[in-house]
Structures are given as structure tokens and as C-alpha cells.
Amino acid sequence: MIIGVSRALSSPSTVGRMLKTCLCRASTFVNDKKEAASVSETKLSSIHPTAIVHPDAIIGEGVSIGPFCTVGSGARLGDSCQLHAGSHVFGNTELGDGCVLLTGAIAGCDLPGCTVIGSNNRIGYHAVVGVKCQDMKYKEGDECFLYMGNNNDVREFASIHRSSKATDRTVIGDKNLIMGCCHIAHDCRVGSSNIFANNSLLAGHVVVEVSQDVPRYMMVAGDRAELRGLNLEGLRRHGFSNTEIKSLRGAYQKIFMPIGLDSSSFEDRMLSVEQTEELYNLPVVKSMMQSIRDSFQHNRRGICNFRNRISLEE
């Protein structure tokens, strides 16, 4: 199993704030559903004649529902959602604006509780999101919940399950890429901007987060997360020049990869970079250095350890 990480994962406080936001969204969803009477076909772009849309479903403006789709009585589809042929929305399920369900995708299930999916999420071919968990302790009739943020890409045949009990939640943040055949089980909490490589599996109650800060432009990996160098591919994709990348690499090596028997402290190595004009004069190096400095200010939690376990608190 491999979990590929492209950016810093969210902190415990971030997950907490995300959960509060999701709970508010779920409350709004329930209130809106009580007030809604029926599907308003005047606002729809199209509903294919072979689709089955329950008259109590709430459909936003500009929604496209393809052939052989199913939209249940408790569904709420935001504006500009697209349901491709053979995709389905079951149970008390909300899709935010701009969501796309590709062929065979399933969102939600006919169980107590709800599935709340934010805006601009893409659910891939035959992926399932918000279905019953596989926990043997789950009791039939118990409420179960899944909350997903915005701008996530869930690829083909991936599965994300609801919680195993009413007092817990499965929570997914924003801007995650969940590749093909991945599984995120009941009661997991995943932060934002993560990449899960193909066939990655998370068992129940897993929390994906970094316990300390990740400095700007760097990558982490492992359990517990450790620095694993610069995110070179990300830097190139975002247009950083060769000079900037070379300078960032030089600064990184001075701080985290001291040569031989160098016994200088972490602070001394930081000062060495700041006093090296050809490095520190570049704004990107200053930005990286400042992000490290900021991590140790005013009760902050510091930065992740380096993979060779060089102490960063010398």
C-alpha cells in the first residue's frame, strides 16, 4: 500500500473546522429538504426520458441527468451537476454545485443519516461514495454519515464508506486526488490536497494528517511524516525556474543534509543559509526560510523531522 503525498496534509484543527463546516452544511441540507415540494423541471437543462427522478428530489438549475440514471426522493442536486449515463444518487444525499458523476458512479445509500458532498467534485466510473460501511459492529437502523469537501477527484472503482455509528463521521477534505481502486473505510478523516495512489487502502478510523508543519516547497512521507526533500515536480509544474530550484535545493541541503561530521546546530545551519547572499537574495529561498521560522513562533508545533532523524530542536 502506498499513499502518495503532494502537499502538506491538514492539521487536527483544520479537520475540526472542516467537520464543523460539514455539519452546518448538513443542517442546511435538511432544512432545505423540508421546504422543497418537488422537482422544478423549468430549471433543468435536461432529464433523459429513461432516467428515474423521484418527484420529491430537489434539483438545481442547469442540471443534466443522463439515460438510465436514478435520483432518489431524498436527493438534492446543486446547480450545474452532471449525472452521466447509469449513475445514481440514493438516500439523503446532497451534491454541491458543479459535481459530476461518471457512468456507473453511486453517491449515497438508503440508510438513516446522510451523505453530503461539496461543490465541484468528480466521482469516477463505477466509484461508490457514501455507502454502508463494512464494519461488523454496525447495527442496522443506526444513522451513519459521510461529509466531503470541494474539488475532489475520486477515480474509477474507488470506494468511500459512511461512518459505522451515529456519533462518528467519515470526513474528506478539499482538493484530494483519490486514484483508481482506492478504499477509504468508515470513520476515516482525511485532510486536504492529498494524493492516494492506485489501490491505496485505509482501514476504519484512520486519520491522515501531519502532526507538525511542512515547510514551503517540501514533501513528506511515512508514518509519522518526515521530510523527504523538495517537491521538485510540483515546482516545475508551477513554473519555477532552474535557478530557483537549484537555489532551493542548495538551501535544503545546507539545512537538512549536513556533510560528514558537521556538528553545527539546526539554528547555525539556518543562519548559514541566511548569510549566503547567492541563496538568500532569491525571494523563493526567503519564502522557504520564513516558513520554517514561522513554524517555531508563538506556541507553533515546529516542523517535521528529517528522514535521517536529524534533530530539529537542537
Query: What mean pLDDT is predicted for residues 189-206?
Result: 95
Q: Which three cell numbers, joined as nine digits, stand for 216?
A: 514551503
- Name the residue with higher pLDDT: 199 or 37: 199
- Residue type (1 letter), 121: N
d(CA 187, CA 13): 17
CATH number of 12-208: 2.160.10.10
What pLDDT, in 10s, does the model give residues 76-124?
999 999 999 999 999 999 999 999 999 999 999 999 999 999 999 999 9
Count of all residues that appear for the chain in the document: 314
- Name the residue with higher pLDDT: 17 or 195: 195
> Quick check: 62 and 78 in contact, CB under 8 A?
no
513562533: which residue's cell?
Answer: 297
- Name the residue with higher pLDDT: 159 or 228: 159
pLDDT at 28 over 70: no
From 5-19, 51-65, 198-212, 272-286, the region with the lowest mean pLDDT: 5-19
Query: What mean pLDDT is predicted for residues 164-193?
Result: 97
Q: Report in angstroms the alpha-carbon separations of 6 from 176, 294, 295.
A: 10, 21, 20
Mean pLDDT of the chain: 86
Give the count of beta carbons closer than 10 Å to the beta carbon of residue 82.
19
pLDDT at 40 over 90: no
Give the count of beta carbons closer than 10 Å to the beta carbon of residue 147.
26
Q: Where are the domains of the chain?
A: 12-208, 218-306
Look up the CATH superfamily of 218-306.
Udp N-acetylglucosamine O-acyltransferase, C-terminal domain (1.20.1180.10)
Kindly report the pTM of this predicted structure. Answer: 0.74
